[in-house]
Structure 1
Amino acid sequence: MNRLVKRHHVNTTTPLHEFARKMYLVLQKRKEAEGRETIACQARPATITNYPLENQLSGIYTRAVFNKYKDAYVYGTSFLTKKVDAGRFLVVYGRDGPSFYWSQHEFKVVCDEEKEDYRCECMQWEHTGLLCPHLIIVMTNEQIQRLPSKYVLRRYTRNARIDPPYDRNDTLQVGADGTLVSVTHFNMLREAFACVRAGDRSTIASV
């Protein structure tokens, strides 16, 4: 902050009252930016289409990860898909220009909704756990409605954090569906606090 203020707002000849005024403006802008970021993190990320798959991922992924998905979706529009066989496709780069730096312009993609098998020759999902543009464009063209849960890594989701309550017996309690009771407890608290925050912002609550 000290470096930022000296570089962009004041110098050695700045009077004290002018320094105080500029510092006040800097702090106000910082608080406003932090407030916007807090509100944006609590809200559901904005989608760029009405595609059901995108709506699903917007509710699962964190805002930062979902933005990466949107970038991959836009980049995927540079490719053309050719169906080779049942559930198998060839994705070809369909534009000429310096924006494409890879030496390979064709990728073999497996997109089998019945078997829930989605794979790409580029191996991006295997390396990062995120869908590549080639898979996204094929899934869009094939109108895949939902992504199987095995392709959504927990570390990228909003519920990635686990904060179990203290238990002096040090035992893991598991519900009938196999989910830890502590995880269910934390998720219910998160939903309850979200309802409270929504009520605080509503006009009806202020009447």
Structure 2
Amino acid sequence: MRANMATERHASKIYTRAMFKQFGHILYECGSYQVEEIEKGKIYIARHTDAALRERWCRTSYKVTVIEEGEEFDRDCGQFAHMGLLCSHILKVLDFIRVTEIPKKHIVKRWTRDARDVLPKHLMHYHRDNAQENPFSFRHFNMYMQAMELVRMGDSSVVAYEHLILLFKHCAAEMKLFTDVRDGLGLEDRLADNINVANRAQSRGVVHP
């Protein structure tokens, strides 16, 4: 552990090894800030300890707002929306007000040790363990690669992320009209057929190798 803070100990229990390492880097930055209480339990300022020595264009203070009595924390840097991890300024405030655990609203399940069940049931075949057993069709693979390229672009900034999420929602609503008629060649349909065949074979006492 880098700082032996309560939130760090909590993070070590919930995050994957890779994300805990990233969390540690962010936590290390906490040492460069001091906290000033503006309104008890509501508003705090995290100020860089070397504010007077930093370049004029460098931002040195950050406002942290406590929401719903500590269930959520807000900072205008947008790091949580972009990375799914709290910024060093909020972590510093958490330590200042003696919060021992990362608020549930700020724990992204995708980064936790329990992430295996983060996907809805109808998307479970995308888990890495299952993907190797499921042969993707060309059209499926082509769409998947196109989607990954969009994710890459959406990950370039907070603005890009927010815009891409809006596009996804719009596309999902529009594409729903095309799913009423299925040709049976999609991965989801083929997996369902395989399960049905296996169930019928089992009911007849036939064992496939």
The TM-score normalised by the length of structure 2 is: 0.50
1:103 deviation in Å? 2.8
Shift in CA distance, 80/52, structure 1 to aligned 2, threshold 3 Å: closer
| 8 A contact 2:72–2:105 mirrored in 1 | no
1:120 aligned to 2:75? yes
Find 1:148's aligned residue among 97, 103, 127: 103
What's the RMSD between the two structures over aligned residues? 2.9
1:70 aligned to 2:24? yes
Match of 1:89 in 2: 44
Task: Describe the SS at the equivalent of 1:81.
Answer: strand
1:83 deviation in Å? 0.8
Gaps of 5+ in 2: 118-123, 131-190, 197-209
1:48 deviation in Å? 3.0
Match of 2:10 in 1: 56
Instruction: From the two aligned structures, give the one with the greater helix fraction.
Output: 2
Amino acid across the alignment from 1:81: V
Shift in CA distance, 56/156, structure 1 to aligned 2, threshold 3 Å: same
| 8 A contact 2:65–2:74 mirrored in 1 | yes
1:159 aligned to 2:126? no
Find 1:106's aligned residue among 50, 61, 78: 61
Shift in CA distance, 150/117, structure 1 to aligned 2, threshold 3 Å: closer
Gaps of 5+ in 1: 1-46, 170-207
Identity %: 27
Match of 1:202 in 2: none
- 2: CA distance between counterparts of 1:95 and 1:114? 31
- Please list, as runs of the form range in 1=range in 2, the aligned pairs for 1:17-28 lying within 5 A after superposition: none
- 1: CA distance between counterparts of 2:53 and 2:110? 34
1:102 deviation in Å? 6.5
Task: Describe the SS at the equivalent of 2:89.
Answer: helix
Shift in CA distance, 101/59, structure 1 to aligned 2, threshold 3 Å: farther
Match of 1:130 in 2: 85
Shift in CA distance, 61/52, structure 1 to aligned 2, threshold 3 Å: same
The one of the two structures with greater contact order (alpha-carbon pairs below 8 A, sep at least 6) is 2
